Amino acid sequence: MELDWLEDFLALVEHQHFGRAAEARNVSQPAFSRRVRLLENWLGAPLFNRDTHRVALTPAGEQWRPTAEDLLRRLYLGREQTRAVAEGFVSTVRFASTHALSITFFPQWLEAIEAEQPLSSAVSLVTDNMAGCERMMLQGQAQFLLCHHHPSTPVSFKPNYFTSIDIGRDILIPVSAPALDDPTQPRFALPGQMGAPVPYLAFTEVSGMGRILASTHALEGPSMWLAPGFTSHVATVLAAMARAGKGLAWLPVSLIAGDLERGVLVRAGEAQWDVPIDIRLFRPRARQNAAAEAFWARLKARAEQDLAGDQG
């Protein structure tokens, strides 16, 4: 079995289309399809159902997926640790973070941790949308994933291979630019005025906050009141569009607190439209390098202290 076969398999799982997966892997579709067949022949089982509009995993493919993810993650981790030993690199704690949290939460959070005790390792942070961050974690390119999370919204990680801890709280609220004739009122408000749909600035499906909004009560009913006019996976882009008066958006308070204080953005709905969310850190259950394990131990100790303080 070749490493390319594992990466091809996971690319096809993600894209659910041979052409798009082949493009993502930078190979021709015939070569990509041939490598997938070689993997299936090696395993002795069909992994994909090719008769549907979207390529879907067979039961055998579902069984193989967590093994493929774990194998690839361990291979990349082993390569990194081997290089570090051979070349004398300083151990690095590697984070993947969604865009908004990399700006609004991560710097202050890491500063608070280092204020207690400086880290003895280097820190690396890579930002992407939620789908990209999940991919980095599954492929072993990051040791920790920082993201927003809601109980109604599943992640791609199998609980027997990954664990997590909540390290903060946030809330998604509907906001808009202020009305032109009254800066205390929203230009666009829920549940709409006179039955007319509200211009809606939406997160894409690859965004973690887009997934959360799609799976919570916030968007079950008001589709008749929302007219999607612009989409992005980046919260800062949607915030800029909302400030420009282009529509209404659900945005995290951690990102727009300053805008609300200045009146650049105002609430566009009552508290019933709010979506409380957690700020969560994921990691693989498999043991990582010493720096990552030491960092995780510190986080768990802090969480236990916070819990004891709340109970006291």
Domain extents in the chain: 3-62, 76-167+278-311, 169-277
HSE, CB side, 13 Å, CA atoms: give it for residue 293. 6
Amino acid, single-letter form, for residue 85: V
Distance of CA 18 to the CA centre of its chain: 24
Q: Average pLDDT in the 37-43 region?
A: 92
Burial class (CB in 10 A: 0-12, 13-18, 19+), 191: middle
Cis peptide, bond prior to residue 228, ω within 30 of zero: no
Q: Average pLDDT in the 291-311 region?
A: 78
Q: Domain 3-62: which topology? A: Arc Repressor Mutant, subunit A (1.10.10)
- Phi then psi for 33, rounded to 5 degrees? -60, -35
First CA to last CA across the chain, in angstroms? 55
- The token duo for 309 is 């303080």
Ramachandran category for residue 288: left, alpha or beta (phi over 0 → left; psi -120 to 50 → alpha): beta
What CATH architecture does domain 169-277 belong to? 3-Layer(aba) Sandwich (3.40)
Q: Average pLDDT in the 248-276 region?
A: 94
| pLDDT at residue number 33 | 92
Cα–Cα dist 260/241, whole Å? 15
Contact 229, 200 (CB under 8 A): yes
Q: Which residue in 123, 106, 140 sits closest to 6, CA to CA?
A: 140
Cα–Cα dist 156/68, whole Å? 13
Tell whether pTM > 0.85.
no
Q: Average pLDDT in the 70-88 region?
A: 72
Amino acid, single-letter form, for residue 296: W
- For all residues of the chain together, what is the average pLDDT? 86
Options 2.60.120.10, 3.40.190.10, 3.30.300.20, 2.40.50.140; CATH of 76-167+278-311: 3.40.190.10
pLDDT at 8 over 60: yes
Q: Average pLDDT in the 112-120 region?
A: 88
Check if 3-62 and 169-277 are the same fold.
no
